[in-house]
Amino acid sequence: MNVTAAPSFLGRLRTYPSGIVGALIIGSMVICGILAPILPLKNPLALDLSQRLMPPSFEHLLGTDQAGRDMLSRIVWGSRESLVIAAGAVSFGALFGVTLGLLAGYMNGTVLEIVITRCFDVLFSIPLLVLAIALMGILGTGPTVVGGFIIGIEVKLIILIGLSFTPALGRLSYASALVEVKSDYVRAKRAQGAGWAELTFVEILPNAIPSVIVQATLFIGVAIIVESSLSFVGLGVQPPTPSWGTMLADARGYIASGEWWIAAFPGFAICATVIGFNLLGDVFRDVLDPRAGAISSFV
């Protein structure tokens, strides 16, 4: 992808109203998450039983939960956990998936290609959420010590959710590499003495980036759902750290009694953010990689 095409790309992106809506939603969530420490919000961990289960009001715009904690503050702070874990998981999956996919495509017809693609097939055959729940159930939610380093729950979630995305992103780059490795410009570079690293990461990788960006954008929304699902069942972010999934879990016992805001607002935050990434991903697909419009999602 040529750097000079950036102005043209931004110009085309502005012609998609859905992309603008998605960018506004995501931008709002990201800005709120970044500025959470300096925004005039109440302490998301402060307990006030005298204010428990208060409906939305001027003092508490989104109401309070069963412990008297401000819902608006907890949702804003919870966005930090969800967005960081989702973006980190997709980055982790892209790093390993794209690298292995390009390597398998370049080494077409070798044992290494067979091993990598079979590993992709095994991981791809296991439902994403089932794999994440199984791995988190095995490793546990507490800190894990590896080689003297303490790995917290957030890092474990990033690695495990990212591992689930590796085969899909790897297949995308593998398919691109299979096409590009047979092209004339790659053959010419090889004839000039270019090594596999230069051919793979300098010549082939730029042509695989558009489709990877499209799928990675969509996967961020999926990662938010997976992280919230894990937190909902107690295998994700642990209380008292604010998390949209744990907030929904806490709300289960209060929906029937009429405290609708405890579940409605965290659920709305999850839905809005996922929709925002899906809208933006669809626009990226049309602008960056029009051929992908006919390809169904890997999820």
pLDDT attached to residue 62: 92
Residues 165 and 86 sit within 8 Å (Cβ to Cβ): no
Q: Which range is least confidently modeled, 142-146, 177-181, 193-197, 291-295? A: 291-295
Residue with tokens 């709300």: 251
Of 224 and 210, the structure prediction assigns the larger pLDDT to: 224
Size of the chain in residues? 299
Residue 108 pLDDT more than 50? yes
pLDDT attached to residue 203: 81
pLDDT attached to residue 284: 82
Residue with tokens 């925004």: 39
Cis peptide before 7 (omega within 30 of 0): no
pLDDT attached to residue 71: 93
Tens of pLDDT, residue by residue over 223-272, are: 999 999 888 888 888 888 888 999 999 888 887 888 899 999 999 999 99
DSSP string, 182-206: TSHHHHHHHHTT--HHHIIIIIIHH
- For residues 25-40, average pLDDT: 91
pLDDT attached to residue 7: 54
Domains of the chain: 3-294 (1.10.3720.10)
CA distance 185 to 204: 10
Residue 289 pLDDT more than 60? no
Mean of per-residue pLDDT scores for the chain: 84
**How many Cα neighbours within 13 Å face the side chain of 122?**
7
